[in-house]
Amino acid sequence: MNIRHLSFRLLQIYVQVVRSGSISAAARAMHLTQPTVSLQMKRLAEAVGAPLFEQREGRFERTAVGEELFCAACDVLGRFDDFNGYLERARGGSSGHINVAVVTTAKYVLPRIMGAFYRQFPDIGMTLSVGNRAHILGRFERQEDELYVFSHPPSGPQVQAARILRNPLQMIAPQDHWAAGGPQVTMAQLRGERFLVREPGSATRMMFESWLSAQGMDLGNTMQVESNEAIRLSVASGLGVSVISEHTLQEGRERLAVLPVAGFPLESNWYLVARKDRRLSAPAHSLIKFIAGHLHECVEPACAHWVAPGIAGLDAHFMPAARP
């Protein structure tokens, strides 16, 4: 490999291509033209002396060399991030930028936290990405963000996770549903209902299906709906029943009823997650400390008691490990 032909910018572009999934997406993200990014990838492959991508079943995927280069590039860029973090810490962690990615249901809480955080730290910029579990998991694997919120955290040696807030799941129906306001009912009694569910990859759907499987049951008659807002409207209109986070019901539940189903609410939690192999910036630690001290103020009053008991020690849980 001709190391003289490598540059910091070239590695940045390569990492962005990998994380974006295509040259065109990377070009848009970096405000470059597609031919410019293509040319840089060609130069990088020539400098390395081996192909970085290959076509498999109609898709471009990284070669073994490309994968090793991605890991090395992330390490190099990560060390510069560490240096930038040092400079930020020298300024007290009151400026910089944080990328945060959260699962869909957490969007009902995280913007309040980030809004309150911004009022205290107006010089820290923030980017919030929202998606289902599969989407946020992909961002975690590509190391696109510093902090994540999952209800089902990924597993593995590179995962740091701490519980921050309960996320109970309730069965909802239209207000005039036959089981609304009555005695407890069983899932067997609801077998004739149409269940409105999120797309595969949704953590709420995964948990509900897992619970049903443990009861020896399956979903049966379903209708897939792509957002929690659409599910609430569809349920209120009488299209079926659904399982949804109770946090999403704190507003706009006038036409909905929570059904008294045996085994509900299903117990779930939200976890703050980071990667052990990526040292967090000073602004990220400032956000973690803010969550630890102010989360109970940023949720609906009825949900304040759901804050995790050990949240005061949240920042210590994410203290950086020393690099070799």
Q: Could you read off the pLDDT of 234-258 as tens digits, one per residue?
A: 999 999 999 999 988 876 677 899 9
Question: Token pair 């079926």 is at which residue?
Answer: 240
Least confident segment among 144-153, 235-244, 303-312? 303-312
Q: For the chain, what is the mean pLDDT?
A: 88
Q: Could you read off the pLDDT of 257-301 as tens digits, one per residue?
A: 999 999 999 999 999 999 988 888 888 999 999 999 999 888 888
Among residues 155, 153, 111, 105, which one has the least CA distance to residue 131? Answer: 105
pTM here? Answer: 0.70
Q: Tell me: do 110 and 157 sit in the same domain.
A: yes
HSE of 141, CA atoms in CB hemisphere, 13 A: 13
Evaluate if residue 1 carries a pLDDT over 70.
Answer: no
Percentage of the chain lying above the pLDDT 70 cut:
93
Is residue 125, in this structure, part of any structural domain at all? yes
Least confident segment among 51-55, 170-174, 180-184, 242-246? 51-55
Least confident segment among 38-42, 84-88, 270-274? 84-88
Is residue 54, in this structure, part of any structural domain at all? yes
Number of domain units in the chain: 3
With cut-offs at 50, 70 and 90, classify the pLDDT of residue 77.
Answer: confident
Evaluate if residue 88 carries a pLDDT over 70.
Answer: no
Is residue 86, in this structure, part of any structural domain at all? no
Is residue 52, in this structure, part of any structural domain at all? yes
Contact by Cβ (8 Å): 70, 62: yes
Query: Which pLDDT does position 290 carry in this prediction?
Result: 94
Q: Tell me: do 237 and 286 sit in the same domain.
A: no
Q: Tell me: do 63 and 177 sit in the same domain.
A: no
Q: Tell me: do 127 and 246 sit in the same domain.
A: no
Percentage of the chain lying above the pLDDT 90 cut:
48
Q: What gap in Å lies between CA 257 and CA 236, rounded to an integer?
A: 9
Q: Tell me: do 110 and 241 sit in the same domain.
A: no
Q: Tell me: do 24 and 146 sit in the same domain.
A: no
Going from the C-alpha of 145 to that of each of 175, 237, 250, 268, the distances in angstroms are 41, 38, 28, 23
Residue 119, token pair as written in the block: 């009022």
Is residue 307, in this structure, part of any structural domain at all? yes
Q: Tell me: do 252 and 173 sit in the same domain.
A: yes
Going from the C-alpha of 196 to that of each of 68, 220, 239, the distances in angstroms are 43, 11, 8
Q: What gap in Å lies between CA 298 and CA 270, rounded to an integer?
A: 15
Evaluate if residue 40 carries a pLDDT over 70.
Answer: yes
Query: Which pLDDT does position 89 carry in this prediction?
Result: 58
Query: Which pLDDT does position 323 carry in this prediction?
Result: 46
Is residue 80, in this structure, part of any structural domain at all? no
Domain end, chosen from 258, 285, 302, is at: 258
Q: Tell me: do 246 and 113 sit in the same domain.
A: no
Evaluate if residue 127 carries a pLDDT over 90.
Answer: yes
Average pLDDT over residues 30-41: 91
Evaluate if residue 128 carries a pLDDT over 90.
Answer: yes
Label the pairing between strands 53-56 and 96-103.
unpaired
Domain end, chosen from 258, 277, 306, is at: 258
Q: Tell me: do 299 and 157 sit in the same domain.
A: yes
Among residues 270, 269, 256, which one has the least CA distance to residue 171? Answer: 256
With cut-offs at 50, 70 and 90, classify the pLDDT of residue 99.
Answer: very high
Q: Tell me: do 162 and 275 sit in the same domain.
A: yes
Q: Tell me: do 210 and 149 sit in the same domain.
A: no
* Residue numbers of the domain that contains 217: 169-258
Contact by Cβ (8 Å): 135, 276: no
Q: What gap in Å lies between CA 95 and CA 75, rounded to an integer?
A: 23
Query: Which pLDDT does position 119 carry in this prediction?
Result: 92
Is residue 79, in this structure, part of any structural domain at all? no
Q: Could you read off the pLDDT of 63-72 as tens digits, one per residue?
A: 999 999 998 9
Preceding peptide of 265 cis, ω within 30°: yes
- If one compares 185 and 108, the residue with the highest pLDDT of the two is 185
CA-CA-CA-CA torsion for 255, 258, 260, 262, nearest 10 degrees?
A: 140
Is residue 324, in this structure, part of any structural domain at all? no
Q: Tell me: do 160 and 295 sit in the same domain.
A: yes
Query: Which pLDDT does position 324 carry in this prediction?
Result: 44
With cut-offs at 50, 70 and 90, classify the pLDDT of residue 146.
Answer: very high
Going from the C-alpha of 269 to that of each of 109, 266, 275, 316, the distances in angstroms are 13, 10, 19, 20
Q: Tell me the CATH number at 173.
A: 3.40.190.10
CA-CA-CA-CA torsion for 87, 140, 8, 54, nearest 10 degrees?
A: 180
Evaluate if residue 117 carries a pLDDT over 50.
Answer: yes
